[in-house]
């Protein structure tokens, strides 16, 4: 060595796990899962490092000596010294294989490193010795631990050689794991962020690959309460699991969880804080074809859930999805299930009080749908439901539609059928309408009294341009051929402009007449035959407050945007496309269906 050279070695130990092989045989690398089951593994490990000469990476050959001791200082060497001569160093990088034999039995050991330029001078012993933390003992225990010596510095005298401490890991070919757990009842990854405040993350994963995963957890045990990824946050504003796939194209996953257990969870998030805006699972996608949360239950049997959401809060949401992109075929929540008893989306808000939502859908688009349900089966072999609502409460509502805009022609609930035999709305039970009922026609439909098994009987409603009420009855005349007909006490409060009709029963009564018009909720009949019976009919026009303020417009011009259309175009020899409902409904529904159905059919979702 010419003069004093400042050499620095920084490196790390890498444990090589190998099967025992005979002379001339190739050494086989194994994965961590194989190591656990392996009956015989080697004792060799490699030392990889970087050597600098002055401030530049070294190039050339160097000699190294490595020895193990059972103490930080003192002569108690364990095993023999391993010498590696003429080690090639290229751009400062070198690798050597070390084998001290079967000496790692759990006893604490320290590594001493000596180095010199190849064949030049004496070896310089670097100090202090490096304490070996659990990783090398994986030879004995078949387990790997962390090594925390980054930043430590070893130094020696005479040549100015310096070794900066390194770290210990595992080197294996094939599939590698950042963290690997093989317990059938364990957790693939378990991280706990215990801070009670701040933006903390149980697990934070970031993937920039077009087909990458921010966090990928897989619990492959066939039974037990397993978790692909389990995240816990105790902060009032924390996130149990937060995954971010930042690439704006491709099939990326912020968080993807997979569970093979029959009672497992692909992704299970639990935000235990009882206050604050917490999320059990929060999914967000910025792609114009992305999904905030995508749940896929591909089992063909059992009660499976594409996405299962549950909220115990009195103002909580079982599932809340928000797709913020203003264009593209986005879904706040998209659920798909193939099971013949499955639910595409199933929301369960089990709180007994408060304004809770099993499923809550919201759309801010001017052509959006808060909740859209599509039952795509066309075979007609089963009873499918685009949307089905059920309430078990004695005062509950199965389906409630509320159009909150105070202007415009909006619909709380709108039903359309394209089938001539179908029903836009079908009700079993009483129907109440608070407001005007507009219809093209109406009738009752009953089983025909003379052939109830094979025929129906229809009767049309009585139509009138007025809000007309009809009252009738039969009265028996007294000895003077007269009668007073008593009407309900509310008769005059409800009706005005009365009309009368009298019909004698059994014989002609030419002198029959209305002796007194309605007064004090009664009218009188005179000019009849003593003891005869008379059929009477009285009509009146409503004049209660609601009727007075909501008179039927008998004739009116069509609004500008409806002119040129027909309610019944076929009756006037016009095509269906000229129908008002056809144009309005086609614009609202057909375009929405055409826009939504193609991605469902061809996207591979």
Task: Give 496-541 pLDDT, tens digit per residue.
Answer: 999 999 999 999 999 999 999 999 999 999 999 999 999 999 999 9
pLDDT value of residue 208: 65
- Could you give the CA distance from residue 312 to residue 292 in angstroms, rounded to a whole number? 22
Averaged pLDDT for residues 12-34:
32
- Could you give the CA distance from residue 401 to residue 403 in angstroms, rounded to a whole number? 7
How far is residue 82 CA from its own chain's centroid?
59
Helical (H) or strand (E) element with 580: helix 580-585
pLDDT value of residue 552: 86
- 404 compared with 182, residue with greater pLDDT: 404
**CA dist list (Å): 544 to 166, 472, 540:** 93, 21, 12
Q: Judging by beta carbons within 10 Å of its beta carbon (0-12, 13-18, 19+), is residue 107 exposed, middle or buried?
A: exposed
Judge whether residue 214 has pLDDT over 60.
yes
pLDDT value of residue 184: 52
- 344 compared with 528, residue with greater pLDDT: 528
Helical (H) or strand (E) element with 597: helix 591-602
Query: What does pLDDT average to over the chain?
Result: 73
- Could you give the CA distance from residue 279 to residue 269 in angstroms, rounded to a whole number? 8
- 350 compared with 590, residue with greater pLDDT: 350
- 480 compared with 137, residue with greater pLDDT: 480
- Could you give the CA distance from residue 385 to residue 382 in angstroms, rounded to a whole number? 10
Instruction: Give the bridge partners for 505, in sequence order.
Output: 533
Backbone φ/ψ region at 36: left (φ over 0), alpha (ψ -120 to 50), beta: alpha
Provide, rounded to the nearest whole percent, the portion of the chain with pLDDT above 90. 18
pLDDT value of residue 363: 73
Judge whether residue 373 has pLDDT over 70.
yes
Residue whose tokens read 């100090």: 127
pLDDT value of residue 604: 46
127 and 156 Cβ atoms separated by less than 8 Å = yes
- 88 compared with 41, residue with greater pLDDT: 88
Q: What is the assigned CATH class of domain 468-549? A: mainly beta
Boundaries of every domain in the chain = 7-171, 468-549, 569-602
DSSP SS3 for 505 = strand
- Could you give the CA distance from residue 361 to residue 322 in angstroms, rounded to a whole number? 9
Q: How many residues does the chain have?
A: 605
Torsion of CA 220, 221, 225, 226, to 10 degrees: -30
pLDDT value of residue 481: 97
**CA dist list (Å): 60 to 5, 121, 164, 352:** 14, 16, 20, 78
The two tokens of residue 155 are 């130094």
336 and 327 Cβ atoms separated by less than 8 Å = no
307 and 331 Cβ atoms separated by less than 8 Å = no
Provide, rounded to the nearest whole percent, the portion of the chain with pLDDT above 70. 63
DSSP secondary structure letters along 472-496: EEEEE--TTS-EEEE--TTHHHHEE
DSSP secondary structure letters along 183-244: -TTSBSSEEEE--SSSS-BSSEEEE-STT-EEEEEEE--SSSS-BSSEEEE-STT-BS-EEE
pLDDT value of residue 26: 27
Task: Give 251-281 pLDDT, tens digit per residue.
Answer: 777 767 776 776 667 667 777 777 777 777 7
Kindly report the backbone phi and psi dihedral angles of residue 166, in degrees, each rounded to the nearest multiple of 5, phi listed first.
-125, -160
62 and 117 Cβ atoms separated by less than 8 Å = yes
- 376 compared with 484, residue with greater pLDDT: 484
Weakest mean pLDDT among 158-162, 477-481, 555-559 = 158-162
536 and 472 Cβ atoms separated by less than 8 Å = yes
Q: With a threshold of 0.75, does the pTM exceed it? A: no
Judge whether residue 118 has pLDDT over 50.
yes
Averaged pLDDT for residues 376-396:
80
Judge whether residue 479 has pLDDT over 90.
yes
pLDDT value of residue 166: 37
Cα-based angle 204, 209, 213 (whole degrees, multiple of 5): 40
- 593 compared with 558, residue with greater pLDDT: 558
Q: How many angstroms separate the first and last alpha carbons of the chain?
A: 68
């Amino acid at each position: 060595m010419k003069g004093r050279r400042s050499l620095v070695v920084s490196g790390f130990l890498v444990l090589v796990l190998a099967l025992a092989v005979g002379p001339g045989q190739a050494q086989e690398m194994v994965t961590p899962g194989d190591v656990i089951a392996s009956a015989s593994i080697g004792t060799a490990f490699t030392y990889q490092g970087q050597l600098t000469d002055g401030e530049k990476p070294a190039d050339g050959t160097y000699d190294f000596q490595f020895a193990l001791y059972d103490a930080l200082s003192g002569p108690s060497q364990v095993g023999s010294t391993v010498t590696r001569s003429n080690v090639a160093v290229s751009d400062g990088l070198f690798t050597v294989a070390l084998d001290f034999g079967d000496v790692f039995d759990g006893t604490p050991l320290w590594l001493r490193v000596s180095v010199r330029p190849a064949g030049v001078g004496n070896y310089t012993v670097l100090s202090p010795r490096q304490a070996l933390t659990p990783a090398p003992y994986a030879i004995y225990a078949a387990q790997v631990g962390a090594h925390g010596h980054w930043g430590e510095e070893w130094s020696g005298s005479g040549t100015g050689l310096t070794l900066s401490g390194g770290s210990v890991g595992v080197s294996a070919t094939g599939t590698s794991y950042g963290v690997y757990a093989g317990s059938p009842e364990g957790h693939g990854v378990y991280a706990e962020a215990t801070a009670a405040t701040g933006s903390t993350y149980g697990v934070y994963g970031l993937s920039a690959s077009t087909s990458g995963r921010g966090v990928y957890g897989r619990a492959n045990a066939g039974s037990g309460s397993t978790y692909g990824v389990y995240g816990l946050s105790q902060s009032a504003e924390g996130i149990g699991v937060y995954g971010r796939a930042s690439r704006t194209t491709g099939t990326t996953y912020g968080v993807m969880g997979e569970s093979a257990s029959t009672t497992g969870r692909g992704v299970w998030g639990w935000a235990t804080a009882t206050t604050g805006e917490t999320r059990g699972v929060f999914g967000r996608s910025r792609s114009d074809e992305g999904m905030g949360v995508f749940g896929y239950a591909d089992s063909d049997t059992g009660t499976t859930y594409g996405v299962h959401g549950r909220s115990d809060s009195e103002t909580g949401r079982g599932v809340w999805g928000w797709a913020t992109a203003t264009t593209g075929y986005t879904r706040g929540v998209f659920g798909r299930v193939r099971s013949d008893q499955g639910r595409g989306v199933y929301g369960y808000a089990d709180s007994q009080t408060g304004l809770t939502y099993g499923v809550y859908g919201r759309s801010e688009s001017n052509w959006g749908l808060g909740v859209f349900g599509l039952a795509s089966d066309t075979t007609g072999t089963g009873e499918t439901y685009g949307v089905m609502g059920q309430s078990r409460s004695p005062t509950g509502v199965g389906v409630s539609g509320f159009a909150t805009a105070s202007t415009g022609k909006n619909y709380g609930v709108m039903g359309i059928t394209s089938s001539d035999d179908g029903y836009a709305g079908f009700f079993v039970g009483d129907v109440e309408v608070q407001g005007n009922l507009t219809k093209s026609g109406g009738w009752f439909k009953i089983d025909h009294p003379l052939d109830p098994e094979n025929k129906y009987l229809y009767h049309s409603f009585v139509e009138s341009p007025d809000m007309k009420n009809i009252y009738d009855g039969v009265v028996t005349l007294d000895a003077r051929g007269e009668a007073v007909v008593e009407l309900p006490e509310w008769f005059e409060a409800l009706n005005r402009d009365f009309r009368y009709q009298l019909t004698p029963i059994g014989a002609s009564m030419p002198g029959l007449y209305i002796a007194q018009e309605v007064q004090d909720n009664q009218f009188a009949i005179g000019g009849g035959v003593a003891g005869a019976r008379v059929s009477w009919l009285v009509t009146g026009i409503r004049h209660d407050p609601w009727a007075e303020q909501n008179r039927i417009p008998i004739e009116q011009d069509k609004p500008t945007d409806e002119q040129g259309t027909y309610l019944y175009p076929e009756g006037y020899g016009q095509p269906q496309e000229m129908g008002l409902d056809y144009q309005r409904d086609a614009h609202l529904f057909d375009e929405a269906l055409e826009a939504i159905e193609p991605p469902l059919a061809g996207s591979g979702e």
